[in-house]
C-alpha cells in the first residue's frame, strides 16, 4: 500500500525540478536534496520530500504501473460528459486540474491542552470535564515513524490545542527529527503561535500550515473566540503564505447565527488568502460547550460548499474533513470526493489518546484500527478511480 509514487527527475532549473510519473510531467520545489537528472524522489504538496534509490523506486513503480492507468480509466468513466448539476461541474473541474490524485494526509493530535476558550470547541480550556494529555516528544516521534514507515504516509499534520508547553526548542527538535527519521511533508496545526516560531520551524523544514480563520463574519468571530480578532489571524495566515508555507485554511460551516451569505464570504476569504488547500467542515456541537444546543447543519450545505469552493478555485486542493465524515458516516467521503474534493485526512494519533482529543463528540475514525480504516478508504478510493497520491504541483 502506497500513498505516493516515486517520480523520476527529468529536468532541473534552479530549485524547481521536473518529475515524471508514467509519462506525466509535474513540477516540484527542491530545497533539501542534491538531485540530478535520472534520480528518483517523492514529492508532496509540490515539494520534494525524499530522495530514494532506483533500487527502492522500481518495485514501487512496477506495483503501480497497471493500477495507475486503470484508476484513471475508472475516474474518467464516472465523469459526466455533459455536466448538469453543480456537483457534476465541480467534479469535472477536479478531474481537469488534479486528475485522479487524492492527497491522504496523516494527522497526529499530540496535545489536548489549550489556552483558548473557543465557544465551539470541546477541548477549550474551560471544559473541566475533559481529561488532558500531552504526548512526550518521543511518543510523537514514534507516532510519526509508525505513520511514515509502517503506514507509508508522506504528509503529516502535527496538531494540538494552543499549548505553549511545546516551546520553540521542543518544536524545533520535533521538526528536525521527523525530517531526519520520517521523511514527509510536515504540516503544522498549532493555532495562533508567534510568527517568529513559525519562521524558525520553516527554517528547520516544516513546509505547510493548517490554520483556519474559522469565520469571515467579524462579529461572530469576536463572539466565539474571546480575546482574539479576525484581522490578526488573517494577517498571520497571509504572512505564513508569504514566507513560503503551503497554506491550508478555511472555516466552520453552521455556526449559530451564520447566514447563507456568510458561507459565500467564507469561501471567498479562503480563496483571497491564496489557500493551497481549502479545509472546512461542519460545526458539530459539543455538549460541554456554550454552543451545545446548536442544530446540526445539513449534509447538502456541506456538499454545496465543497462544490462552490471547487468552482471558485479549480486549482486548490479541497479536503473532505473528518467532521463531515462524522455528520454523514455512510456517504461523506464518497459524495464529497464526487462533488469536487480531492483530499482527506486519516487519524494516526496513538489509539489511547484519540478519544481525549474531543473537539466534538463521536468523531469518525476514532479508536478504529488504523490499518483497517486505511484499507476501507483505499477500497472506496479505488471504486471511484482515485489514487491515494500527491503528484506534486
**Contact in structure between 313 and 342 (CB atoms under 8 Å):** no
Cell numbers at residue 341, please? 474534493
**# of chain residues touching ligand SF4 (CB under 6 A):** 9
Q: Give the binding range for ligand SAM (CB under 6 A) out of 57-65, 211-219, 293-301, 306-314.
A: 211-219
Which contiguous run of DSSP H or E holds residue 90? helix 86-98
Cell numbers at residue 188, please? 503544522
> Considering beta carbons, is residue 183 or 250 the nearer one to ligand SF4?
250
> Considering beta carbons, is residue 118 or 156 the nearer one to ligand SF4?
118
Regarding 363 and contact with ligand SAM (CB under 6 A), the answer is no
> Considering beta carbons, is residue 43 or 211 the nearer one to ligand SF4?
211
> Considering beta carbons, is residue 50 or 322 the nearer one to ligand SF4?
322
Cα-atom radius of gyration of the chain, to the nearest Å? 20
The site string for ligand SAM over 136-175 (x = CB under 6 A, - otherwise) reads -----------------------x-xx-------------
Exactly one of 40, 198, 245, 283 binds ligand SAM (CB under 6 A); which one? Answer: 283
Closest CA to 32 of 51, 7, 46, 4: 51
**Contact in structure between 322 and 281 (CB atoms under 8 Å):** yes
> Considering beta carbons, is residue 159 or 266 the nearer one to ligand SAM?
159
CB atoms within 10 A of CB 189: 18
> Considering beta carbons, is residue 114 or 188 the nearer one to ligand SF4?
114
Distance CA 9, CA 123 (A): 45
Regarding 252 and contact with ligand SAM (CB under 6 A), the answer is yes
Regarding 108 and contact with ligand SF4 (CB under 6 A), the answer is no
Regarding 123 and contact with ligand SF4 (CB under 6 A), the answer is yes
User: Hey, which residues does 12 pair with through a beta bridge?
Assistant: 17
User: Hey, which residues does 52 pair with through a beta bridge?
Assistant: 40
Residue carrying the nine cell digits 508569504: 242
Sorted by sequence, the CB contacts under 8 Å of residue 315 that are 6+ apart come out as: 97
Q: Give the binding range for ligand SF4 (CB under 6 A) out of 59-67, 117-125, 168-176, 179-187.
A: 117-125
CB atoms within 10 A of CB 150: 11
Pick out residues in 309-328 that bind ligand SAM (CB under 6 A): 323
Cell numbers at residue 312, please? 471558485
Q: With CB cut-offs between 5 and 8 Å by kind, which of ligand SAM, ligand SF4, none does residue 323 bind?
A: ligand SAM
Could you tell me the smallest distance in angstroms from the CB atom of residue 124 to ligand SF4? 4
Regarding 121 and contact with ligand SF4 (CB under 6 A), the answer is yes
Helix (H, G, I), strand (E, B) or coil at 209: strand
- Contact positions toward ligand SF4, by CB under 6 A? 114, 116, 118, 121, 123-124, 161-162, 191
Amino acid at each position: 500500500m502506497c500513498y505516493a509514487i516515486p517520480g523520476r527527475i527529468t529536468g532541473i532549473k534552479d530549485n524547481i525540478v521536473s518529475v515524471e510519473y508514467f509519462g506525466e510531467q509535474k513540477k516540484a520545489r527542491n530545497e533539501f536534496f542534491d538531485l540530478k537528472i535520472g534520480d528518483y524522489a517523492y514529492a508532496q504538496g509540490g515539494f520534494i520530500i525524499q530522495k530514494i534509490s532506483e533500487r527502492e523506486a522500481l518495485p514501487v513503480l512496477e506495483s503501480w504501473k497497471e493500477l495507475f492507468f486503470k484508476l484513471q480509466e475508472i475516474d474518467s468513466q464516472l465523469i459526466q460528459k455533459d455536466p448538469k448539476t453543480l456537483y457534476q461541474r465541480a467534479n469535472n473541474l477536479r478531474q481537469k486540474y488534479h486528475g485522479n490524485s487524492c492527497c491522504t494526509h496523516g494527522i497526529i493530535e499530540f496535545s489536548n491542552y489549550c489556552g483558548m476558550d473557543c465557544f465551539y470547541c470541546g477541548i477549550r480550556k474551560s471544559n473541566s470535564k475533559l481529561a488532558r494529555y500531552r504526548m512526550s516528544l518521543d511518543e510523537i516521534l514514534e507516532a510519526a515513524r509508525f505513520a511514515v514507515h509502517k503506514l507509508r504516509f508522506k504528509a503529516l499534520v502535527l496538531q494540538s490545542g494552543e499549548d505553549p508547553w511545546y516551546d520553540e526548542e521542543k518544536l524545533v527538535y520535533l521538526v528536525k527529527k521527523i525530517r531526519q527519521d520520517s521523511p514527509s511533508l510536515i504540516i503544522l496545526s498549532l493555532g495562533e503561535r508567534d510568527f517568529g516560531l513559525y519562521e524558525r520551524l520553516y527554517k528547520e523544514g516544516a513546509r505547510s500550515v493548517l490554520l483556519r480563520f474559522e469565520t469571515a463574519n467579524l462579529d461572530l468571530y469576536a463572539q466565539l473566540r474571546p480575546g482574539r480578532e479576525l484581522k490578526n489571524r488573517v494577517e498571520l495566515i497571509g504572512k505564513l503564505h508569504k514566507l513560503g508555507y503551503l497554506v491550508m485554511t478555511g472555516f466552520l460551516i453552521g455556526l449559530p447565527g451564520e447566514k447563507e451569505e456568510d458561507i459565500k464570504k467564507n469561501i471567498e476569504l479562503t480563496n483571497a488568502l491564496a489557500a493551497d488547500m481549502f479545509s472546512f467542515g461542519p460545526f458539530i456541537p459539543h455538549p460541554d460547550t456554550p454552543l451545545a444546543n446548536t442544530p446540526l447543519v445539513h449534509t447538502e450545505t456541506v456538499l454545496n460548499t465543497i462544490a462552490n469552493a471547487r468552482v471558485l478555485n479549480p486549482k486548490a486542493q479541497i479536503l473532505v474533513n473528518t467532521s463531515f465524515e462524522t455528520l454523514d458516516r455512510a456517504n461523506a467521503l464518497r459524495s464529497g470526493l464526487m462533488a469536487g474534493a480531492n483530499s482527506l485526512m486519516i487519524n494516526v494519533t496513538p489509539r489511547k489518546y484519540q478519544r481525549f482529543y474531543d473537539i466534538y463528540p463521536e468523531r469518525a475514525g476514532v479508536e478504529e484500527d488504523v490499518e483497517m480504516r486505511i484499507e476501507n478508504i483505499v477500497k472506496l478510493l479505488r471504486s471511484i478511480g482515485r489514487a491515494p497520491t500527491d503528484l506534486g504541483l
